[in-house]
Every structure is written in C-alpha cells, then in structure tokens.
Amino acid sequence: MQDFLAPRRLLLGPGPSAVHPRVLRAMSTPLIGHLDPIFLGVMNDIQTLLRRVFATTNPFTIAVSGTGSAGMEAAIVNVIEPGDSVVVGINGVFGTRLATIIERCGGNVIRIEVPWGQVFEPDFIASALEQSGPVKAVVLVQAETSTGAWQPIEHIGTVCRQYNTLLIVDAVTSLGGMPVEVDRWGIDVCYSATQKCLSCPPGLAPLTLSDRALSVVKTRRSPCRSWYLDLSLIADYWAEQSRAYHHTAPISMTYALREALRLVEEEGLPARFSRHQLNSRALIAGLTALGFSPLPPADRRLPTLVCVTVPAHIDEAAVRAELLRRFGIEIGGGLGPLKGKVWRIGLMGESSTEANVLTLLNAIEEIGIRSGWVSTPGAGLQAAAHTYSGGR
C-alpha cells in the first residue's frame, strides 16, 4: 500500500474549513499524558479562550471529545429526561436532528416550524410556550447550515426565563464567525464544533453551560443515558480542583484547538466578524450577478455560509463536480427537500478570504461560459469587486 497524499482542495463547503499552518504544526507536537500537569495547563488555556469566544463567564466551559454532533447530543442527553416537554424550532435539517435526539431521550417534542430559510421571532416562541404548559427547554439553531438562515437569539432568552425554561442553542456554524453572546442573551446551553469558523480539524465540540443548566444536570431524576457524554462525570475532569479521570482526551486535537483559539484571539472578534460579513456580501453580489438567488431574506443571511438557489437550467451537481475535478474547489449541495436546488458555500474562518471569493466566482464563470449559461463574462467578478471597493 502506497503512502497517502491528500489532494489540495479549496474548502468552501459547509465544513470542514481551511486550517492555518500553525494549527497543523500544533497537531504534530509530541504527545504527553492526558493527566500530565502540562496538558492540564493546555486545558485551562482552552477554557479561558473559549469563554471569550462564547462571551461568557460560565465556569463549565469545555471541549467535548467528538465532533459537533457529539456536542449536540451532549447538550440534549444531559438536560432532557423521559417525559420532559421541549419546544424545538424546525426550519432545516439540524432542527429536525435535534428533535430526533430528544425523542430518543424519551422527551416530548413540541415542534414549531417555519419554511426552510426563514426564522423564528420571539413572539412565536412566547406563543408556543404559552400554549404548551410546563416546558423544560427551548432548542434553536442559530446558524442553520442546511439553509444559510441566521436565527436571532438576542430576545429569546428573556422569553424563556419568563416561562422558567432553559434555552439551548446550536452555534456549530456561527461560533468564531459571528456574534454568540451566551451571557448577554441568556443562553443556558450552547455548543459548537471546531471544524467550522474556528478553523480547526473536526474532533472537538466546544460546549458551555450556565449555572442554571448545570444545576439541572446535577439534579436529574435518572442517570444520563450516555456514559461517555455524561457531563456530570466529564465535569470532574475539566474542573481544576479535581481532574478526575473519565476518558482519554484527544491530545493532538486539544493542542490544535488551543492554537486555533489563539489565532481567533490575535485577530479579535470584531475584526473577524467584519471579515466574514464583507466576504459574504461580496460572494452574494457576485452570485446574484450570475443569476443565483439567495435563499434566506436579506436580513437573515448567515455571513459564514451562503445558500443560493440554483436556476433550473443549470445542472447544479454537474457544476459542483466540475469545480472539484478541474479547480479543486469544494462547495456543498442541498439537503432534504433542498437537494438538487441549492448550493451551500462556506466562508468560515481561514476559508473566508477575498481571494477565495474571487477564485470561486472566476471558476463558476468559466464553467458557465463553456456551458452557455453565462453570457456576460466578468459580471460576477465585477459585482464582487464593487462590494470590496466600498459599493453596496
């Protein structure tokens, strides 16, 4: 068997995103034990840096061993018990997945739904809570990766507290690329993933719990259904005063996350958010000039993932395949009812650059010219350049 050499790809799909060379170098750091005092110091650094990215002072702020889906499952299985009622916002694939996990925990899912690409307003949440009786938690996806829709969270925490309800937020495609204000917005449980806007390889899931949520975890009527993701046990490993063994931490991934978070810190969150916004606007301008239509409304579009409807006369799968084969560019197709109808283009972390936007638009234009559905060469590039030069 020959050595494996991965091809060079421009990662502009819904994840993973590009990884900075410093993060890759950190992964090659020699291993030490997961209870070594030096490694415990690395864990302390990660907790400090994650609190800044989550905008929280929560003591329980950790990185779960596993991808974002492990963070999702940990958030649910630790809080929800059999018989608990949970309001779940479903406007895409990941709200649906959350409902499935809750049902597997024995929870009573109260589905609230809007069309894919739209979001939930606070009054809608309040009405659902008013009609549902006692509810353990409200669960929402801030950045719905299947539609590119940005769910506002700012006022929903206040609504949840009025009904003595926990607020659980999926920030997988938002943390590090757009504002996530855990304390100010009253979020009780928030989880994310390393491979999106944090630009770290997949393998860890940042997670933070408020004191309210941690109290719920510690006073459960029944044991958590997952031993591996039982936060009451994992807490003793991450707590500085105890450091009790639970499982072997992914040491190299922990090195990588620390370095990725240092890069976020060096750039600064305001600058990072502005960069994602600018590149998203430029890409949307370019794609619109080429005949593609953004799926979410203008004021609800993610800056980290652009979702556009592909015109019916374009074979979207064939274009994506050609982008990968000829140009080494990866973008994502649609999921569920949007399969074959949309493109999902990630501009997350290290992948969110002007050069990447222009490279992608140039490749799409070339394919469109050869296929006959682009009649004005340079239209997309000019629209993007206009945005970068200060135009709207």
Is the pLDDT at 128 greater than 80, yes or no? yes
For residues 303 and 173, membership in a common domain is answered with no
Residues 164 and 185: their CA atoms lie apart, in Å, by 15
Together in a domain, 99 and 201:
yes
What's the domain count of the chain? 2
Rounded to 10 deg, the angle between the 251-267 and 269-289 helix axes is: 90
State yes or no: pLDDT of 239 exceeds 90.
no
Q: Which of 203, 235, 266 is the last residue of a domain?
A: 266
pLDDT for the residue numbered 381: 97
In a domain, 12, yes or no: no
Last residue of a domain, one of 242, 266, 290: 266
**For position 199, which CATH number holds?**
3.40.640.10
Please name the helix (run of DSSP H) or strand (run of DSSP E) that holds residue 113, with its range, or none: strand 108-113
The reply to whether 71 and 216 lie within a common domain is yes
* The pair of three-digit structure tokens given for residue 388, joined into one six-digit string: 């970068």
DSSP 119-172: ---HHHHHHHHHHH-S-SEEEEESEETTTTEE---TTHHHHHHHTT-EEEEE-T
**Domain assignment present for 311:** yes
- Is residue 7, in this structure, part of any structural domain at all? no
Helical segments of 175-219, H only: 182-185, 211-218
Summarised one tens digit per residue, pLDDT across range 30-80 is 999 999 999 999 999 999 999 999 999 999 999 999 999 999 999 999 999
pLDDT computed for residue 18 by the predictor: 98
Please list, in sequence order, all residues whose beta carbon lies within 8 angstroms of the beta carbon of residue 83, skipping any fewer than 6 positions away. Answer: 106, 107, 108
250 and 336 housed in the same domain: no
- Within a 13 Å sphere around the CA of 33, how many CA atoms are in the beta-carbon half? 5
State both tokens at 143: 């950045």
- The C-alpha atoms of residue 221 and residue 206 are separated, in whole angstroms, by 26
DSSP E strands in 188-304: the ranges are: 189-191, 204-209, 293-294
Can you say whether the dihedral through the CA atoms of 210, 151, 285, 292 is positive or negative? positive
In this structure, are residues 68 and 191 in contact, taking their beta carbons and an 8 Å threshold? yes
Is 315 part of a structural domain of the chain?
yes
Per-residue pLDDT tens digits for 88-103: 999 999 999 999 999 9
Residues 283 and 333 in one domain: yes
In a domain, 72, yes or no: yes
Give, as one character, the DSSP assignment of residue 301. B
Question: Is residue 137 domain-shared with residue 84, that is, in the same domain?
Answer: yes
Question: Domain boundary residue among 248, 266, 284?
Answer: 266
* Angle between helix 231-238 and 68-79 (nearest 10): 120
- Give yes or no: residues 309 and 357 share one domain: yes
User: How much is the pTM?
Assistant: 0.96
Q: Does 46 fall in a domain?
A: yes
Rounded to whole angstroms, the Cα distance separating 85 from 87 reads 7
What is the arithmetic mean of pLDDT over 118-136? 95
Of the chain, the percentage scoring pLDDT greater than 70 comes to 99
> Which one is predicted more confidently, 333 or 236?
333
Is the same domain home to 292 and 247?
no
Q: Are residues 252 and 304 in the same domain?
A: no
Cα-based angle 226, 227, 229 (whole degrees, multiple of 5):
70
- Whether residue 8 lies inside any domain: the answer is no
The token pair at 106 is: 């024995």
At 342-380, the pLDDT tens digits run: 999 999 999 999 999 999 999 999 999 999 999 999 999
Residue 164: inside a domain: yes
Residues 260 and 337 in one domain: no
The token duo for 383 is 């629209």
What residue numbers bound the domain in which 384 lies?
A: 269-388
Same domain, 195 and 343: no
Residue 345 sits in a domain whose CATH number is: 3.90.1150.10
Residues 202 and 53 in one domain: yes
Tell me the CA distances in angstroms from 342 to 139, 284, 292, 315, one per residue in order.
26, 13, 9, 11
Closest CA to 93 of 348, 276, 307: 307
Report residue 30 as tokens. Answer: 């020699």
Percent of the chain with pLDDT over 90: 95
Residue 345 β-bridge partners? 306
Query: What is the rounded distance in angstroms from the CA atom of residue 66 to the CA atom of residue 35?
Result: 19
